[in-house]
Chains A and B, each alone.
Chain A
Amino acid sequence: MKKIFLFSIDLIIISAFCFSIYAQTPDRTKPPQLSAPKKLTLPAIQQFTLSNGLKVVLMEKHVVPLIQLNIIVKTGSVNDPENKTGLAGLTLNMLTEGAAGKTSLELADAIDFLGARISANAFVHSATISLHTPLSKFDDALKIMSDIVLRPDFPQKELDRKKKDRLTSLMQAHDQPTAIASVAFNQILFGKEHSYGRMTTEKEIKSFSTADMKNFYKKYFVSNNAVVIAVGDIKKENLKKKLEATFGKWQKGNVKEIKVKEPTQIAKRIVYLIDKPGAAQSVINIGRIGAARLTNDYNSIVVMNTLLGGSFTSRLNQNLREKNGYTYGASSRFLFRPVPGSFVAASSVQTEVTDKALTEFFNELNGICEPLTDADLNRAKNLVALSYPGNFQSVSEIAGQLEEMVLYNLSENYFGEFVSKILSLTGKDVNAAAKKYIIPDQMIIVVVGDRAKIEEGIKKLNLGEIKNLTIDDVLGEVPKLDK
């Protein structure tokens, strides 16, 4: 029964809430003084292993009766074999297409009926099977999850279907300027041979077989190559018992870790112009090789990038959007990986101002290497540090944080210490990071736009050699579906 106290039309004054009256208007001449921020106190991180050695990381969160349970397998697109780019991704997607004798439709029906969600996806260095479920359905959902993870069937019929889906997606990518820009950027930056730069081709998709999937699965899906991350409304002992019953017999195996080659840094500035006739905007990606996740410069880079293009008040956004109105937004980011990933500054700008926008990009990329003001430094530091507790609200967000801790072997104290480490950075630290990682002369510039309208203007900027590419150069020809 729902209880609402509807008071009669003469509204009731609750005396406790009739306190001091503000006789005069508040002082608006300056913002109010704030007290010190409270510290984030997280529930304990609990780690244990099952009888087969499978590692489990748990954070109990007894607020809403939900559970997030992610199984992280240490494999990903870096483990795609040669000429089989995309195999990891497709193998993971195939896990939910048939398991333990249940068909794709039967599995989906069972999961949907519970109101749970299970998805299986490969990323670059990790693969995740994630379960999000109401607590009341956890047992049933976990049983289905264990079938999917431990007993996948890889049915031929479903693979054939999935391949058509993939080929069609590749076809549709030809329509999407931001997707084209991003694929081109990574291909050029890392090289088409590097696992961070390659992209599935039509030929590769057509070549995938169920044998490829089964081999890939066998190689990496062993209990000592996986970690369970659980967040939600469950006690450790209870979870342990349930996991032991479902995942306790998962076999171990030998997994050889693949070392990813350190990418080669960009030596000189080149503009790559990809023609998209009639485009209302030009999509711009500018960047170079960035930094590895475990670099000592990590915190300085995060703060520096917040100031450059990682926040609304960042210089790129203020300049290109607020001051000049060239765009709906401009931003930059570092993708941190075990070996250095990309640094990219990006925006979609009105076709007519493409050249002016590029000039402003480089004004800011040069400008960030100059000494910064205390106001800028403090704003960026505070935004990173003081907004940090906001990353620990939902069970899936928390699981994401724990996943990073596990993948990079961060200490359990990492979250607790992060805020004070960020706040202790100096202007010198942040400026040094800018000078080390933002080198505007050594960047590639990718522009997807209407060449006839923008090429002349770009040429006049003398940014460097201009190379013209077609969309097909980047994505391959539009794939053909076998009938």
Chain B
Amino acid sequence: MKRVLALFFILCTVVSAQNQIKVPYTRYVLPNGLNVILHEDHSTPTVTVNTWFHVGSGYEKPGRTGFAHLFEHLMFMGSGHVAEGEFDKLLESAGGNNNGSTTEDRTNYYEDIPSNALELALYLDSDRMGFLVDAMTPQSVDAQRAVVKNERRQSYENRPYGLSEETILKNLYPPTHPYSWPVIGSMTDLSAATYDDVVEFFRTYYVPNNASLVIAGDINPKETLKLVEKWFDGIPTGKPVAPQNPAAVKLNEEKIVVMEDRVQLPRLYMTWITPQKFAPGDAELDVLASILTGGKNSRLYQKLVYELQIAQDVRSSQNSSKLSSQFQLVATARAGHTLEELKNVIQQEIDKIKNEAPKERELQRAVNQFEASFLDGLESPSGFRGKADLLNSYFYYAGDPDYANEDLARYKALSVDDIQTAAQIYLPNNGRVILSIVPKGKTDLAVQPKAEGK
């Protein structure tokens, strides 16, 4: 007998009187291992179906960088019962939009549809989860290979400073680490991908027990679950996916790298390896990024852009992922200024925070902004930034779809000393990559190795 198992059942208001942020949901696991998470929101007659496959570029084999993302493209090329081109045609005919995206850790797909078209989305999604390779040919792989190569040209090679990420990752992580190459992959590896790779990747990672399906919007949960069972129950479970187990990484040197590009102005990138998403230190570094570069009063913006006016822009972020994160500072010099100048000011400000905790108001200002941004996340179920994707993200990274409140609580619990300590521990001067991208022939504008001030 087919059974549906209800694991969690939470029903309460979205924002309760105590200002608790909740996204109420019900979660089930089908016998084949597919996690199903349902959330009701009847504000508009729309539904979003959001699927996460728990595989990303970090799972790629050597010589096949960019494959997880290439595979994402193939998921729109038709499946066993859906002819090539029909996936998008059927959805658009019903008023639906859809897309997919790939990161180091996961690949996500959504369909935003009028609520009457829910079953169509389930039919299409279940067909590609169950029968993708039945329709796949070497020609369809070639077609999307050409598209993805053009994506790389458009978004990386033909974009100013576009090759920074590739260079930084290569220098930050050892070549065996899953994050040492960019999601887009290299042209050589994209050329090397074969039809057989597609079949193997599908059977290994695109199995229901390695996926989670969120349906959010104008739904009746009971009927929706029934439809999910109808379309997904028959998809056979796969072998459990072996967890990634990379050796712990630590960078014990300061790497100074210089690249030339067809740009007018030099740009500086400083990157550290930092604690993974939701680990101790992660929220601290989010707040530190805000204190350093969030808004006009942030320390680095105020210094570099507002007062000294030697930089056009400065930004920083803690880019959190499952195995490891990166804290990155980026600043573009104004004409007539060198990256060495910028680096010296940045270093002074980092040292200052290491020596003295930030002010209470700086911390509170950052936390207030994080708190407000949580409300924005609750507005709509749709797309890459709506509630459906949020539920899937919390489920994958925190093991609990309704983790918003815990997530926010991390920021609210921080003290100014925590921020100081995080800067001391995670932003060492002798463990980072400093990349300068300078206009062709102008390497004198770069951060110079061993140069200490001027």
Contact = CB atoms under 8 A, between A and B. Distances in A.
Nearest to A17: B4
B154 interface: yes
A281 B92 contact: no
Nearest to B369: A115
> Which of A12, A280, A311, A392 has the most C-beta atoms of chain B within 10 angstroms of its own C-beta?
A280
A25 B15 CA distance: 41
B359 to A, nearest CB: 11
Contacts of B96: 383, 386-387
Interface string A247-290: 00000000000000000000000000000001111000000000
Contact of B379 (A18, A20, A116, A395): A395
Interface in B148-180: 148-151, 153-155, 157-160
Interface stretch (B109-117, B237-245, B345-353): B109-117
B388 to A, nearest CB: 12
Interface stretch (B57-65, B197-205, B226-234, B421-429): B226-234
Given A177-B158, A390-B44, A21 B1 contact: yes
A64 B114 contact: no
Contact of A115 (B44, B116, B368, B382): B368
Nearest to B370: A115
Nearest to B380: A393
A278 B261 CA distance: 11
Interface in B270-314: 294-297, 302, 306, 309, 312
A481 B309 CA distance: 11
A14 interface: yes
Contacts of B7: 7, 11
Contacts of B405: 2
A2 B336 CA distance: 55
Given A31-B120, A34-B119, A390-B382, A115 B371 contact: yes
> Which of A12, A18, A115 has the most C-beta atoms of chain B within 10 angstroms of its own C-beta?
A115
A82 to B, nearest CB: 29
Given A171-B265, A175-B264, A280-B153, A390 B46 contact: yes
A175 B380 contact: no
A400 interface: no
Interface residues of B, number: 108
A28 B297 contact: no
Contacts of A322: 85, 143, 147
A63 B14 contact: yes
Contact of B45 (A17, A37, A483): A37
Interface string B393-409: 00000001010011000
Contact of B361 (A14, A113, A478): A113
Contacts of A483: 336
Contact of B295 (A3, A4, A108, A137): A108
B95 interface: yes
Given A37-B114, A65-B15, A321 B335 contact: no
B114 A134 contact: no
Contacts of B89: 313, 379
A207 interface: no
A164 B10 contact: no
A66 B379 contact: yes
Contacts of A114: 368, 372
B231 A36 contact: no
A461 interface: no
B380 A389 contact: no
Interface stretch (A69-77, A143-151, A197-205, A325-333): A325-333
A465 interface: no
B264 A40 contact: no
B94 A34 contact: yes
A311 B312 contact: no
Contacts of B370: 115
B306 A38 contact: no
B9 A134 contact: no
A168 B265 contact: yes
A240 to B, nearest CB: 24
Interface string A127-160: 0000011100100000000000000000000000
Contacts of B1: 21
A385 B95 contact: yes
Interface in B117-134: 117, 119-120, 123-124, 127, 131
B384 to A, nearest CB: 14
A246 interface: no
A32 B6 contact: no
Contacts of A38: 45, 114-116, 218
A318 interface: yes
Contacts of A6: 8
Nearest to A322: B143
B150 A281 contact: yes
A36 B302 CA distance: 56
Interface string A1-31: 1111111000111101111111001101101
Nearest to A313: B88
Contact of A3 (B12, B97, B160): B12
A294 interface: no
B264 A34 contact: no
Contacts of A171: 264-265, 335
Nearest to A10: B5
Nearest to A350: B150
A455 B5 CA distance: 64
Contacts of A4: 8, 10, 400, 402
Given A105-B302, A483-B336, A348 B158 contact: yes
> Which of B43, B81, B148, B150 has the most C-beta atoms of chain A within 10 angstroms of its own C-beta?
B150
Given A172-B312, A278-B262, A480-B335, 4 more contacts: A25-B234, A312-B92, A383-B95, A387-B114
5 tightest Cβ-Cβ pairs between the two chains A and B? A386-B95, A325-B146, A115-B372, A393-B380, A38-B45
Interface of B: 1-10, 12, 14-15, 18, 20, 22, 28-29, 41, 43-46, 80-81, 85, 88-90, 92-98, 112, 114-117, 119-120, 123-124, 127, 131, 142-143, 145-151, 153-155, 157-160, 218, 222, 225-226, 229-231, 233-234, 262-265, 294-297, 302, 306, 309, 312, 334-336, 361, 364-365, 368-373, 375-376, 378-382, 386, 400, 402, 405-406
Interface of A: 1-7, 11-14, 16-22, 25-26, 28-29, 31-32, 34-40, 61, 63-66, 104-105, 108-109, 112-116, 132-134, 137, 161, 164-165, 168-169, 171-172, 174-177, 278-281, 311-313, 318, 321-328, 348-350, 378-380, 382-383, 385-390, 392-395, 397, 478, 480-481, 483
7 contacts: A7-B7, A31-B124, A161-B309, A326-B146, A382-B92, A389-B45, A397-B380
